[in-house]
Amino acid sequence: MDTLTDPRTSYLSDFERTAKALPGFPELRRKAIEKFAERGFPSPREENWRFTDVAPLAEIPFKPAVGTANPNQFAGLANGPLKACQITFVDGRFAPSFSSLDLPAGVGVTSIGEILKTAPGVLAPLVQVAEDPFAALNTAFFRDGAAIRIADGVQVERPIHILCLSSLHGEPYVMHPRTVISLGEGSRATVVKSFLGPSGGTYFLNAVTTVLLDAGASLDLTKVQRESQQAYHFEHLDVRGARNSSFTHHSISLGARIARTDLQVKLEGEGADCSLFGLYEVAGAQHVDHHTLIDHAQPNCTSRELYKGVLDGRSRAVFDGRIIVRPGAQKTSAMQTNKNLLLSTEALVHTKPQLEIFANDVKCKHGATIGQLDEGVLFYLRSRGIGLAEARRLLIHAFASEIVDSIKTDAVRSQVGGCLALIAGGA
């Protein structure tokens, strides 16, 4: 290894320097950093990383986040419409003063930092060394994040909000938040994860999220990513659904220089169901990548997936959706669609739907489209007095509304709608 130029070096030396201070799981962390050392950052020669070059990220010497000197700058942002039940993190650390954890019975929302101090053993079944180098880095370094536990049979009406704020620093910094959400038998919850950073902030947010759904549990999870345009946002999201569980995910990706979400859902019990929705709107030099994998491991499971993208400027988007139907997973129903709208001739999208079917009695469908705003429709709107910019805005909104409208909870839908309106206003 050439220690001067190898991007691994700074992470390895940071680990050696801070390992003693990292709370809990010393052996696991050691194994994880060794995995990362051996594996290194992915290269575009790897199939899974063909269209997302992480070299710009690897070249920046990010330092572990130390927290902001002035958390009060975030007071306004922490006061959003979902503040009623909210756990807030500033630069990756739990911020109790911006959190409101007045919770109904059977609902536990805690910071991972607290758990690591008091009872790290609880997390043991949830943290492993992953093959993915980003997930391995997170395992080596994680020290905080949100832990949500819903007891058997508890139905939580109010959305639980995980708010991750990243401050503006002189030096590029890195955070490795870890989120764990587990729902007991027959329980139901709505969770929103918001990622927010001021423009100009150069940071690397490397998240790992684990979701465990017991039999009959139902989780509606929405991610709203509005990082700084200079930020790097990576998330590895693993979901396991037991019998008759139901998982709905919305990935709203608007910010970051490079944003990548790896979402893996394993339908492990009969009758499990998942719905994955995504909406990415990028411009300038932004790059957004969604890799999804739905693993139909048992019979009678259903999945549907709809990702839509709007690309302007020189932006790039990648959609890679894989669906595996295991042998014996009969009566599987799986639908997958990816639709893209290109607003500029320099924007580019790579879309790759993949079905791998090893059972014979299944209903599976996939498709992808890439198009532009329809000139005929634009003219129609203008011929009625609507200006060109407004006509474009109307049509982009119409394209995106299918995803926004599929968000069931009013408060979440209006929050997402508000974010999109902000983007449209700025463009």
Binding site for other proteins (CB under 8 A): 374-377, 379-388, 390-391, 394-395, 397-399, 401-402
Query: Nearest approach, Cβ of 275 to other proteins (angstroms)?
Result: 20
Query: Nearest approach, Cβ of 375 to other proteins (angstroms)?
Result: 7
Rounded distance, CA 133 to CA 129, Å?
Answer: 10
Query: Nearest approach, Cβ of 400 to other proteins (angstroms)?
Result: 8
Nearer to other proteins, 363 or 382 (CB): 382
Query: Nearest approach, Cβ of 367 to other proteins (angstroms)?
Result: 17
Nearer to other proteins, 158 or 393 (CB): 393
Query: Nearest approach, Cβ of 399 to other proteins (angstroms)?
Result: 6
Nearer to other proteins, 62 or 399 (CB): 399
Query: Nearest approach, Cβ of 369 to other proteins (angstroms)?
Result: 13
Nearer to other proteins, 272 or 403 (CB): 403
Distances (CA, A) of 229 to 61, 69, 148, 226: 18, 22, 29, 8
User: In the block, which residue shows the tokens 């465990």?
Assistant: 212
Query: Nearest approach, Cβ of 343 to other proteins (angstroms)?
Result: 16
Nearer to other proteins, 55 or 388 (CB): 388
Nearer to other proteins, 254 or 341 (CB): 341
Query: Nearest approach, Cβ of 280 to other proteins (angstroms)?
Result: 17
